[in-house]
Chains A and B, each alone.
Chain A
Amino acid sequence: MSETTVAGLTTEEMIVNVGPQHPSTHGVLRFVVTLDGERVNECVSHIGYLHSSLEKIAETLRYEQYITNTDRFDYLNGLGNELCYVQAVEKLLGIEPPLRTRFIRTVMAELKRISSHLVYLGCYGNDIGAVTIFLHAFRERELLMDIFEAVTGGRLLYNYLRIGGLRNDLPTGFGDQVHRFLDHFPRRLTEMTDLLTENRIFIGRTRGVGMLTAEQALSYGVTGPSLRGCGVPYDLRKLRPYAAYDQVEFDIPTFPEGDCLSRHLVRMEEMRQSLRIVRQLLDKMPDGEIQAEVPRRLRPEAGEVYERVESPRGELGCYLVSDGSDKPYRMHWRGPSFYNLQVLPEMVRGGLVADFIATLGSLDPVAPDIDR
């Protein structure tokens, strides 16, 4: 490179390890980054530190036993993962869950999306250097955690969805609790927007940084807010409505620039849309059964199924092969973080070290979701 030579002096490239022990790798990730001074020349990601063999475990567990494991790979989207898995098994068995169940599942998935985006917001602020937003975001997330705890008994690992139904119906006072949150949260969201999103330094750090074109994104299989941040309105909730998404009105926020700022703005707007969805669903919540008729032993016919949902990070897919026994023959997860991370070297090449961190954070990867 021409920049390495200044008046006959040559500098060496420096290879640094970002991770596995690094403050902003969102779990245990490792990148080998080649630096020319502050400039990033090459970035190679090394994954697998959090591989927990969840796909192999599925082959040893009965269908209904596996649900609790789905909470554990993308731990910020536990209920969404459960939704994906449960829908896949239901598809395999040909079971249709009752309407109320579908509504409740959707409400929980959307609340979980808000909570996941709040974690993103806090961590991203932390990556950029604004530490306070981290605790403000987690403070609001705590209210959601209380809601999840009241409904499912767990704060992070829920094991709430069941094949063809739910573990239990909504607790008394659920509507009030969620409505309190819905009334309270938009104010705090505005406050957090004031604190971080509109800050001139934040905009300076993210605008034009980590550029991703729509073509690149599509060719690498990037999905979710990272893709919508390139102006592609690809959202499975709209394109292929599952659960109760066909019952509600909402918009898919897209921003065309493809930089860190537009990815950030997509997530901020998605939180508002999720609030809108939850409000509509609560108003329309039907009464009735929550559990469909399910055989005592789940033995799907031999066959295969692929089910996908929109997780906060993108398209989450669950591929199941049944050989007719009560355990899956093979299972595969399409973790959105894994696919989104692949495009990182393209985005950070030529940027600065600080841009590398900002870009990594804007992809919102969850390390166990990459490795599974």
Chain B
Amino acid sequence: MIRCKGIEKSFSGKKVLSGIDMDINDGQIFGLLGPSGAGKTTLIKIITGQLGYDGGSAVIMDKEAKDLTREDNRNIGIMMDNFGVYDRFSCTDNLKVFADIYGTPYGKISESLELVGLKDAVKKSASDLSKGMRARLQLARVFMHSPEILFLDEPTSGLDPRSSKAIHRIILDKKKEGRTIFLTTHNMEEAHELCDTVALLNEGRIVDIGAPDELCRKYDHKKTISVHLNTGEDIEFPCGEESGRKIGELIGSGKVETIHSSEPNLETVFLELTGKKLEEE
């Protein structure tokens, strides 16, 4: 569905993307993780044909991104962090504009608003919506014409946990419907929860790519199991047969309160690979 090979992009002589390679299959949620300024939005703009590139190839729906036509764009839904809504319009009127452009029946508007949980706000002016509701309105706009590929640039950026959860649920529902979703985020928990594959982007380069669990296991250098006992004692066992037997005995004796393996999370993996944190403090 999306294939990038050696994408290069510079702005005023400064390289912002270098040798980007990745394959995204149909029906997958692909997460691009990186701190602010890593080149995530630039890559989305290149793949969606909004921005040219200096080298390499970006193929989407079997077509070079720069050759995408207006008809191709109808199969792509984009929600960018900085995209706006018509403040003076109600939610319904906001979507009417795009229903007219896409030739979507107006009946789909209430369906889309219901899908994102804005059923009760259909007549509410966009200027009166909270940040989370505005994000959901943008999602409704993206979903309304049922595109095959969804590009969601930091869809939960700055939202409260409840709104973020609501958006996660919608994204997972869309995956179930078979949509391909390209997601950028600097929230590693979000990436772990939603994505089938994640690419870690730093200073315009992909430093590693793979399934979130695989990546975490790959960088598990300690390979230990930590056990917290009800006596307050913490014991760390190296992975192995002997440790397994001992942990089994402890569990049997009813002393174990918690048990954890030592694989890192994506944040720690990113830190190890780049020396940087994903999320800004």
A, B assembled together: no
